[in-house]
Amino acid sequence: MTAWAGPWGVSFAANLTPDKATGLGSWTEAAFIKSMRTGKHKGVLRDILPPMPWQGLGQLTDDDLKAMFAYLQSLKPIQNKVPDPIPPKR
């Protein structure tokens, strides 16, 4: 339940632990909130693919998103490089 195939290709659920190289360890709270609100990686880069439900999560209040980010950053960092998404075949 960590990989999904659809018209967007294949996407892999992100590593949400605070590992600096492979997770959210180098993200700021502001980038996390912006990413949930805009559906962009780190709030500014590529589009986040389905089925990541950012359209719903992005409607939470700043306080709720800050609490979620604080919780995620409190987890034990796990080094796990998730594969890059695979684009759809033509």
Q: Which is nearer to ligand HEM, 77 or 85 (CB)?
A: 85
47 CB-near residues (< 8 Å, 6+ apart): 39, 40, 41
- Shortest CB 90 distance to ligand HEM, Å: 20
Cα separation of 79 and 41, whole Å? 19
41 to 80, contacts with ligand HEM by CB under 6 A?
41-42, 48-49, 51-53, 57, 68
| β strands within the chain, DSSP E | 3-6, 9-12
3 CB-near residues (< 8 Å, 6+ apart): 10, 11, 12, 13
Assess 17 for contact with ligand HEM (CB under 6 A): no
Q: Which is nearer to ligand HEM, 53 or 88 (CB)?
A: 53
The residues binding ligand HEM (CB under 6 A) are 4, 11, 13-14, 16, 35, 41-42, 48-49, 51-53, 57, 68, 85
